[in-house]
Amino acid sequence: MPNARVLRDIKARRGVHANEIARRAYLYVARNETLPPQVRHQAQLQLNTYGRYSRPTTVKNRCIVSGKGRGIISEFGLSRFQFRLQALRGELNGVQKASW
Amino acid sequence: MSTPSRLRALTQLRCSLFQTSYNPQGLRTGAKYLRQRLRGPSMLAYYPASLNLSRFIHQNPDMEMVNEDAEERLVDVLERRKRGKGAPKKAKDKSESRRLQKRR
């Protein structure tokens, strides 16, 4: 069972996925300088009504094994410690311990 | 002769030829929000799918499985309540809430 922060992150990801197209459309209108200011303002107000779990910036890549939020090696989606454990066990292809 | 008007006409013609939008003032058109790829699908795929045991059991009642951890937790809660150590009841409104009382 993933921890609460991971669950929250999954919730945010679902929200982003569900609202992405409509949000994009509003963003297009709101940021379009060729449209009348009133229309752009209305679009911006609509954007403001979206909750926090619909913004892509809310989403954070966490460790897929331990759920840690810091020290993530993004190529593997693992925190640095989990990365070390798996690499030493030889579970990560193409990763070997450096020695010189 | 390259006067400004002729240069403008040239850009206009170039835009119509190569099907790009003619935007001499460099206004923001918001096109980048339409051009960007949708990030939702890849965001959803980040975490590997995990099995929710209690939901799986709930969805398949004919398999007659028991979630032992959950059952044990319920037994523990019952026992704690018997000893008077259970969690307090949820507040119905703000006045019942203990949060404010503590601050004083």
**Per-residue pLDDT tens digits for B68-103:** 888 999 999 999 999 999 888 888 887 777 766 665
A22 and A70: one domain? no
| A86 & A48 share domain | no
Q: What confidence category does residue B18 fall into, taking pLDDT thresholds of 50, 70 and 90?
A: very high
Q: Is position A99 within any domain?
A: no
Number of domains in chain A: 2
Domain of residue A33, residue span:
1-60
- pLDDT value at residue A15: 95
**Which residues does chain A have within 8 Å of residue B22's beta carbon, measured at their own beta carbons?**
none
The Cα A63–Cα A94 span in angstroms is: 20
ipTM: 0.81
The two tokens of residue A61 are: 């890549």
Whether the CB-CB separation of A27 and B32 falls below 8 Å is answered with no
Q: Is residue A26 part of a domain?
A: yes
Q: Which chain A residues contact residue B52 at CB under 8 A?
A: 1
Q: Are residues A24 and A54 in the same domain?
A: yes
Encode pLDDT of A23-69 as tens digits. 999 999 999 999 999 999 999 999 999 999 999 999 999 999 999 99
Question: What is the length of chain B?
Answer: 104
What confidence tier does B54 reach under pLDDT thresholds 50, 70, 90?
Answer: confident
Q: Residue A23's domain is classified under what CATH number? A: 1.10.287.1480
Same domain flag for A31 and A43: yes
Distance from the Cα of B1 to chain A's closest Cα (Å) equals 32
Beta bridge partners, A73, equal A78
